[in-house]
């Protein structure tokens, strides 16, 4: 069971094992659009997503472009995510919309785990999923839960990590854990995860 | 009617975040749901909000929704009829 690869997005910068990409834009919204334009996934649904889903979607695009999970059966791919602010970024926007007419399209994103749904729809993932809200990235919790999921017979690969957004502040750390060895092939331990997250 | 349809196209793109489209990409009689633009049930709710906010027009009977939201032209006809009746 090893960590295959990762994608970090912070301060309008994308970091993967092979590349560091800065896309500095006047606003976080502009950054998301610039990154989408660069990746060209041709996925109009992106424009309808809230910022948390956009961010998770883009990180997953980068990660899974290089390390495809298409050879896995959809039921064997699991997703385990976590963050600190749940869906607060969108909750605030939705609350503001209720001053006039409440926005239905904002309302559907007022749940922290919607980002997982968007990633699963995009990549046809049908395995187990879980979302934890925690004060900060908890490598021990993530390792322990992903380990448990991967030790069950059904899951062969786990897309895991941290997707947090609030008012333009953003922090994403997505990584792949697989039963087979490829890519970085780092041991799936809390110490390794913490090291990758803190870089 | 032509101006109203042109305005509606701009407003639909804005309200539904269809940023990959331009107003001229939407045909007057093009189906909006499933086929055509591929809008979904959440988009339908946003369209209801749009008509209320921008055109002061309410959908009196929810069952009329599919007929009203068939195309930009059918929406414009409903808005025109509703405004005329008001």
Give the model's pLDDT for residue B62: 83
Q: Are strands A169-178 and A2-10 parallel, antiparallel or unpaired?
A: antiparallel
The answer to whether the CB of A7 falls within 8 A of the CB of A15 is: yes
How close B44 gets to chain A, by Cα (Å)?
9
The answer to whether the CB of A184 falls within 8 A of the CB of A169 is: no
Give the model's pLDDT for residue A70: 92
Q: How many domains does chain A have?
A: 1
pLDDT of B52-61, one tens digit each?
Answer: 989 999 988 8
Residue A44 has pLDDT above 90, yes or no: no
Q: What is the pTM of this model?
A: 0.90
The answer to whether the CB of B53 falls within 8 A of the CB of B29 is: no
Element (H, E) at A149: helix A139-151
Q: Find chain B residues with C-beta within 8 A of A101's C-beta.
A: 49, 52-53
Inspect the interface and report whether the beta carbons of B16 and A104 lie closer than 8 Å: no
In the numeric block, which tokens belong to residue A110? Answer: 């007022």
Return all residues near B78 (Cβ < 8 A) that are at least 6 apart: B51, B57, B68
Give the model's pLDDT for residue B85: 54
Return all residues near A12 (Cβ < 8 A) that are at least 6 apart: A22, A23, A24, A25, A28, A31
pLDDT of A91-120, one tens digit each?
Answer: 999 999 999 888 999 999 999 999 999 999
Q: Find chain A residues with C-beta within 8 A of B49's C-beta.
A: 101, 103-104
Q: Is A183 exposed, middle or buried (0-12, 13-18, 19+ CB in 10 A)?
A: middle
How close A60 gets to chain B, by Cα (Å)?
21
How close B34 gets to chain A, by Cα (Å)?
14
Residue A109 sits in a domain of what CATH number? Answer: 3.40.47.10
Contacts of B13-18 with C-beta under 8 Å, sequence gap 24+, read: B15/B46, B15/B47, B15/B49, B15/B50, B16/A48, B16/A105, B16/B43, B16/B46, B16/B47, B17/A47, B17/A48, B17/A105, B18/A44, B18/A47
Range of the domain at A122: 2-198
Q: Kindly identify which residue of chain B lies nearest to residue A103, measuring between CA atoms.
A: B46
The answer to whether the CB of A73 falls within 8 A of the CB of A62 is: no
Give ipTM to 2 decimals.
0.75
pLDDT of A142-170, one tens digit each?
Answer: 999 999 999 987 899 999 999 999 999 99
Residue A23 has pLDDT above 90, yes or no: yes
In the numeric block, which tokens belong to residue A44? Answer: 């109009």
The answer to whether the CB of A174 falls within 8 A of the CB of A7 is: yes
Inspect the interface and report whether the beta carbons of A105 and B18 lie closer than 8 Å: no
* Count of CB pairs separated by less than 8 Å, A with B: 25
Q: Find chain B residues with C-beta within 8 A of A30's C-beta.
A: none
Residue B34 has pLDDT above 90, yes or no: no
Whether the CA torsion B25, B29, B35, B40 is positive or negative: it is positive
A→B contacts (Cβ < 8 Å), by residue, are 44, 47-48, 100-101, 103-105, 108
* A146 phi and psi angles, rounded to 5 deg: -60, -40
In terms of Cα–Cα distance, which of B30, B33, B18 is closest to B72?
Answer: B30
Q: Find chain B residues with C-beta within 8 A of A108's C-beta.
A: 42
Cα distance between residue B64 and residue B12, in whole Å: 19
């Amino acid at each position: 069971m090893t960590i295959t690869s990762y994608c970090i997005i912070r301060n309008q910068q994308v970091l993967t094992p092979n590349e560091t990409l800065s896309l500095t834009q006047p606003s976080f919204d502009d950054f998301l659009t610039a990154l989408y334009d660069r990746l060209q996934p041709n996925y109009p649904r992106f424009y309808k997503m809230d910022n948390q889903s956009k961010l998770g979607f883009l990180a997953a695009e980068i990660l899974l472009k290089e390390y495809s999970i298409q050879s896995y059966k959809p039921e064997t791919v699991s997703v385990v995510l976590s963050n600190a602010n749940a869906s607060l970024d969108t909750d605030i926007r939705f609350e503001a919309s209720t001053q006039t007419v409440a926005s239905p399209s904002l309302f559907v994103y007022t749940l922290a785990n919607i980002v997982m749904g968007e990633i699963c729809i995009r990549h046809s993932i049908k395995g187990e999923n879980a979302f934890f809200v925690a004060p900060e990235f908890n490598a021990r919790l993530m390792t322990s839960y992903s380990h448990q999921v991967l030790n069950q017979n059904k899951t062969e690969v786990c897309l895991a990590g941290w997707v947090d957004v609030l008012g333009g502040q953003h922090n994403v750390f997505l990584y792949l854990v697989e039963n087979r060895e490829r890519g970085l092939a780092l041991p799936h331990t809390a110490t390794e995860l913490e090291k990758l997250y803190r870089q | 009617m032509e101006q109203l349809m042109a305005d509606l196209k701009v407003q639909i793109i804005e309200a539904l975040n269809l940023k990959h489209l331009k107003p001229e990409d939407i045909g007057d009689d093009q189906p909006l749901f499933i086929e055509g633009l591929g809008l979904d049930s959440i988009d339908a709710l946003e369209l209801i909000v749009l008509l209320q906010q921008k055109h002061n027009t309410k959908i009196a009977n929810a069952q009329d929704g599919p007929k009203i939201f068939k195309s930009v032209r059918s929406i414009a006809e409903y808005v025109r009829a509703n405004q005329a009746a008001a």
